[in-house]
A and B are shown apart, each in its own frame.
Chain A
Amino acid sequence: EPEVTQTPSHQVTQMGQEVILRCVPISNHLYFYWYRQILGQKVEFLVSFYNNEISEKSEIFDDQFSVERPDGSNFTLKIRSTKLEDSAMYFCASSQGDVAGVGELFFGEGSRLTVL
């Protein structure tokens, strides 16, 4: 069964360092997303991406965050200068069409980011 894959599964970094989290969405999907979940908290929307541009972003997704689809398969989240409060599980997700239309959204296994 096709799945969303993410690397790394766990990354530890020092405060102020740049981090890139990578995702390979399901191959025929056109919409891509990043969500995050701080330990013990709810899953939160960060950004949606379609047709090589951001379609929506939340107030969490400030200037230190950026997303990119560098080639035909990868979708990345970059955090420019990490802060302690960026420590969380970051989930990539994808859907074949917009979620309201297809009624499905598939998540990857997550990348746990620990900022020291």
Chain B
Amino acid sequence: GQNIDQPTEMTATEGAIVQINCTYQTSGFNGLFWYQQHAGEAPTFLSYNVLDGLEEKGRFSSFLSRSKGYSYLLLKELQMKDSASYLCAVLYGNNRLAFGKGNQVVVIP
């Protein structure tokens, strides 16, 4: 089976930096995705890591360590609109994603 673990919730202040962790044990690994999901809406693509290291994209960065089965998403300069669930998903075949339950980030003024 596929096991993706994320903390369930965190609260952070507007303007702050928050790090969302994800650990995984899967039967295969072809990359790791991060998605943002607002309540009742579709997951929106944020990042895709295949190789170890840090990928930076504006206010969002994602890190991967394949040997440790670990990734994190870093959100900088938090804005109120960043309040959402952040989903870690492992691509374990060519086309199958296994998702974690998501980390609910609440941004407060």
Contacts and interface: CB of A to CB of B under 8 A. Distances in A.
Interface string B94-106: 1111111110000
B41 A103 contact: no
B73 interface: no
Contact of A45 (B35, B43, B97): B97
Contacts of B35: 107
A99 B90 CA distance: 11
| Interface residues on chain B, size class | 20 to 34
Contacts of B50: 103
Interface residues of A, number: 28
Interface string A1-30: 000100000000000000000000000000
Q: Which of A33, A56, A105 has the most CB of B within 10 A?
A: A105
Interface in A32-46: 33, 35, 41-45
A41 to B, nearest CB: 7
Interface of A: 4, 31, 33, 35, 41-45, 48, 55-56, 58, 89, 91, 95, 98-101, 103-110
5 contacts: A58-B96, A91-B43, A95-B95, A99-B95, A99-B97
Interface of B: 4, 30-31, 33, 35, 40-45, 48, 50, 87, 89, 91, 93-102
